[in-house]
Structure 1
Amino acid sequence: MDTIFLNDLRVETVIGIYDWERRIRQTVSINLEIAADIRRAAASDSIEDTLNYKAVAKRLIEFVEGSSFQLVETLAERIAGIVVTEFDVSRVKVTLNKPGAIRGARDVGVCIERTTADFHA
């Protein structure tokens, strides 16, 4: 299986558990690894035969900007659900970073992997 990836998609959102975090927008960074078979697209050289990563990015930006979760875990799970169910992929790995969340650390976050079975139970 091949992988289509998207790295460091930065989006402003409300995220966090503290009162001050609920009043501001913070940047999160999204990295995706999406399972795909790219052989047909490589042969045809046509966007219709592959996953349109621009469409994925646009959908995630819209969702994340409008969201207001307390936990990065919840946001990562919802991102995975969108990618798997709306873009018909079999597996996605989502790494979600929250830069500057811990003093002394560049960022913190979560990394999850989900498949179609996780959303079609």
Structure 2
Amino acid sequence: MDRFNPASSPLHFTVVLPSSARPMPAPADRTEPAAALRTALDIVYIEGFVAQTVIGIDTDELHEPQPIQLDLSIGVPSLRACETDQIGDTINYAAVRAELHTLLATHKVQLLEALAERIAQLLIARFGAHWVRVKLCKPAKFDDVAAVGVIIERRRGDGHA
């Protein structure tokens, strides 16, 4: 039996790949508007901030302060402090810490989500952050869980209140 030799065959095959398997054409040299608005950010962070506050929806949570833990990432455009070595050109950790203690003593919200939003807006409005990530949790809320909480990210101009 002769082996099939495609080069000597009068038959030709065309294989059509589905669009998902075809190579993408090279992108045109253009800048997307959203990408143009993004700015490189330096990140200042506070990790493991622990405080007491009244927060929760259960009756026993509404009267006695309980521990919360907070991790913050605060994005600001290229910190001038890298060049000037001046505290006024960066996020002052001590000032953020003091504002957090004040907020935790005076807020009137029940949900961690609402408190995280207040913290994010404080960092944007008062400290000039362009982007923030707030991780807020109740450590050891349940015997069999290390922590429960939320992580939110906000960007200046997102329209969150």
Normalised by the size of structure 2, how large is the TM-score? 0.70
- Larger relative contact order (C-alpha < 8 A, sep ≥ 6)? 1
Distance between the aligned counterparts of 2:143 and 2:158, measured in 1?
34
Residue 117 of structure 1 aligns to a residue whose secondary structure is coil
- Within the alignment, does 1:53 sit opposite 2:90 as a pair? no
Question: 2:76 aligns to what?
Answer: 36
How big is the shift at 1:68? 3.6
Aligned with 1:91 (options 131, 148, 153): 131
Equivalence for 1:112: 152
SS in 2 for 1:118: coil
Residue deviations 1:55-94, cap 9 Å, x none? 1111011111222422111110111011111111110000
Distance 1:54 1:119, change over 3 A: farther
Which structure: larger Rg?
A: 2
User: Are the equivalent residues in 2 in contact too, given 1:81–1:119 (CA < 8 A)?
Assistant: no
CA contact (8 A) 1:95 1:110 kept: yes
Structure 1 match to 2:15: none
Provide structure 1 residue ranges, at least 5 long, that are not aligned to the other structure: none
Deviations 1:12-54 (A, max 9, x none): 1101111111121101111100112354211111111111121
* AA in 1 matched with 2:73: E
Distance in 2 between residues matched to 1:119 and 1:13, nearest whole Å: 27
**Which aligned pairs between 1:59-70 and structure 2 lie closer than 5 A?**
59-70=99-110
The one-letter code sitting in structure 2 at the alignment partner of 1:92 is V
SS of 1:15's equivalent in the other structure is coil
Deviation at 1:120?
Answer: 7.1
- Segments of 5+ residues of structure 2 without an aligned counterpart are 1-40
Letter of the 1:56 counterpart: V
Q: CA RMSD in A?
A: 1.6
Counterpart code for 2:83: A
8 Å contact kept, 2:46–2:71? yes
Q: Is the contact between residue 76 and residue 128 of structure 2 (CA under 8 Å) also seen in structure 1?
A: no
Amino acid across the alignment from 1:101: K
Aligned residues: 121
Identity over the aligned pairs, expressed in percent? 37
